[in-house]
Amino acid sequence: MGSGWSSEEERQPLLGPGLGPAPGAAWRSREAAAALPAAAPSPGRVYGRRWLVLLLFSLLGFAQGLVWNTWGPIQNSARQAYGFSSWDIALLVLWGPIGFLPCFAFMWLLDKRGLRITVLLTSFLMVLGTGLRCIPVSDLMLKRRLIHGGQLLNGLAGPTVMNAAPFLSTTWFSADERATATAIASMLSYLGGACAFLVGPLVVPAPNGTAPLLASENSRAHIKNLIETVLYAEFGGVCLLFSATLAYFPPRPPLPPSVAAASQRLSYRRSFCRLLSNLRFLMIALAYAIPLGVFAGWSGVLDLILTPVHVSQVDAGWIGFWSIVGGCVVGIAMARFADFIRGMLKLILLLLFSGATLSSTWFTLTCLNSITHLPLTTVTLYASCILLGVFLNSSIPIFFELFVETVYPVPEGITCGVVTFLSNMFMGVLLFFLTFYHTELSWFNWCLPGSCLLSLLLILCFRESYDRLYLDVVVSV
């Protein structure tokens, strides 16, 4: 099923002799069956330390997301403390997508040097970035530049923490745990960004614009001190994670956990040729990049979108927080379900995007209550927005697993690097456009159901295949 791009040499496992194909395997293709060895291998072995490796990587992703979203929730306080302009605040967010420009260099490093070297470099960039923001200088112009430089360095850590999850799960976890590990490793970065909505506002108070001049100066100094407390705390946490990964983060287990983990992969150059010539991969990549890019841009201006319907900025922030948290919980639950019921990734995505299409349509029509006469209440806005975020965010790890299965034996890091690069570039263009043209945003609401419906149709027409899973199930049994 769809493995006609694989040669016999590329599909040959390295584990040694293995069983011949079992009759009636659901994921079989002629090419995959022909590539299987003839006698029985020892089944893969998993190690308890795999959970420690997963924990360290997930915490690194959590910290990267937390640092990236430091300034959005406290932007009014940051304006008063450091003199940030609207363009500065937008650029602090844009450093995340911009950090994906050298994405393929990190994927090359992951493919050639392995997980440990790549993760150490990533965590070191985060140490430099968070440290740069903490340098005590009195010149506000220089301080703003240091903060921008720190956010850029943290953005450069994004390609690893967002792309390497499937590579880690294949390297360390068995076939019936891979989707769960991918979901945990990939979702924690989003959870870190969501927790920034809590950490910042809880520590840093909003500025009081009605205070007298002297009180205002004291308030500015107080706010600046509290912001620096947050920056020092994030710097300390990142340094602790870097020390932990430096002390213990092995590149791979002594023995591979599955046949797929030990099988040969395509070279870096041949991988890109394979991806760009695979129409099925391009179809599912667009199904991922378009709606999630639109949703990310829409989330960035959610407070502006909800202002005409009298929803405050605080409520908009809570909507964004719960949609991400709900998406993380549901995403991990869906991935665990996918591990138990194998070969159902397409069906799960169809269900999730059906819900996303209905939720986005509900929200858009509710905002037009003067025409549709649908009830416009806080409950309906909360419910529609949170459901939309849950459906879209929880689809991310399912997409990652389907990408890898579709183009196997292309390395996992390269595959996910291409799709996240597309998604971040799409999000970056939208955020850049909305920075200058945000006076009328009602049209943007219609982009959500349109993009979700387009993705639903692409997934419906997509022909799934599970060549990696087929190797593990047939050869290992």
Q: What is the pLDDT of residues 347-393, one digit of tens each?
A: 999 999 999 999 999 988 887 776 766 777 778 888 888 899 899 98
For the chain, give the percent of residues with pLDDT over 70.
83
Using CB atoms within 10 Å of the CB of residue 420, give its burial: 0 to 12 exposed, 13 to 18 middle, 19+ buried.
Answer: buried
pLDDT at 18 over 70: no
Between the CA of residue 401 and those of 19, 163, 165, what are the distances in Å?
25, 11, 10
Give the CA radius of gyration of the chain: 23
pLDDT band with cut points at 50, 70 and 90 for residue 151? very high
**In this structure, what token pair is assigned to residue 342?**
């194998």
What pLDDT, on the 0 to 100 scale, is given for residue 40? 40
Distance between CA atoms of residues 438 and 78, nearest Å: 21
What pLDDT, on the 0 to 100 scale, is given for residue 378? 77
In this structure, are residues 351 and 380 in contact, taking their beta carbons and an 8 Å threshold? no
CB-side neighbour CA atoms (13 Å) of 443: 5
Please state the three-class secondary structure of the chain as a single string.
CCCCCCCHHHHCCCCCCCCCCCCCCCCCCHHHHHHCCCCCCCCCCCCCCHHHHHHHHHHHHHHHHHHHCCCCCCHHHHHHHHCCCHHHHHHHHHHHHHCCCCHHHHHHHHHHHCHHHHHHHHHHHHHHHHHHHCCCCCCHHHHHHHHHHHHHHHHHCHHHHHHCHHHHHHHHCCCCCHHHHHHHHHHHHHHHHHHHHHHHHHHCCCCCCCCCHHHHHHHHHHHHHHHHHHHHHHHHHHHHHHHHHHHCCCCCCCCCCCHHHHCCCCCHHHHHHHHHHCHHHHHHHHHHHHHHHHHHHHHHCHHHHHHHHCCCHHHHHHHHHHHHHHHHHHHHHHHHHHHHCCCCHHHHHHHHHHHHHHHHHHHHHHHCHHHHCCCCCHHHHHHHHHHHHHHHHCHHHHHHHHHHHHHCCCCHHHHHHHHHHHHHHHHHHHHHHHHHCCCCCHHHHHHHHHHHHHHHHHHHHCCCCCHHHHHHHHHHC
Torsion of CA 405, 409, 410, 416, to 10 degrees: 30
Over residues 228-253, the mean pLDDT reads 94
What pLDDT, on the 0 to 100 scale, is given for residue 359? 93
For the chain, give the percent of residues with pLDDT over 90.
34
- Write the pLDDT tens digit of every residue in 292-311: 888 877 776 676 677 677 77
pLDDT at 33 over 50: no
What pLDDT, on the 0 to 100 scale, is given for residue 435? 62
**In this structure, what token pair is assigned to residue 429?**
């263009």
pLDDT at 30 over 60: no
pLDDT at 406 over 80: yes
What pLDDT, on the 0 to 100 scale, is given for residue 22? 39
pLDDT band with cut points at 50, 70 and 90 for residue 473? confident
In this structure, are residues 331 and 325 in contact, taking their beta carbons and an 8 Å threshold? no
Angle between helices 395-407 and 279-300 (to 10 degrees): 160
Check residues 196 and 43 and name the one with the higher pLDDT.
196
pLDDT band with cut points at 50, 70 and 90 for residue 434? low
Over residues 232-261, the mean pLDDT reads 92
What pLDDT, on the 0 to 100 scale, is given for residue 243? 96
What pLDDT, on the 0 to 100 scale, is given for residue 34? 38
Collect all residues with Cβ–Cβ distance below 8 Å to 276 and sequence separation of at least 6: 282
pLDDT at 173 over 60: yes
Taking the model in full, what pTM does it have?
A: 0.83
pLDDT band with cut points at 50, 70 and 90 for residue 127? very high
**In this structure, what token pair is assigned to residue 116?**
């440990």
**In this structure, what token pair is assigned to residue 11?**
């599909």
Least confident of 150-159, 219-228, 250-259, 366-375: 366-375
pLDDT at 100 over 60: yes
- Write the pLDDT tens digit of every residue in 136-149: 998 899 999 999 99
CA 371 to mean position of chain CA atoms:
37
pLDDT at 9 over 90: no
Q: What is the mean pLDDT of the chain?
A: 82
What pLDDT, on the 0 to 100 scale, is given for residue 204? 85
pLDDT band with cut points at 50, 70 and 90 for residue 117? very high
Least confident of 37-41, 49-53, 255-259, 315-319: 37-41
Least confident of 51-65, 137-151, 209-223, 233-247: 209-223
Q: Which amino acid is at 434?
A: L
Over residues 50-60, the mean pLDDT reads 95
Check residues 446 and 375 and name the one with the higher pLDDT.
446
Over residues 75-97, the mean pLDDT reads 84
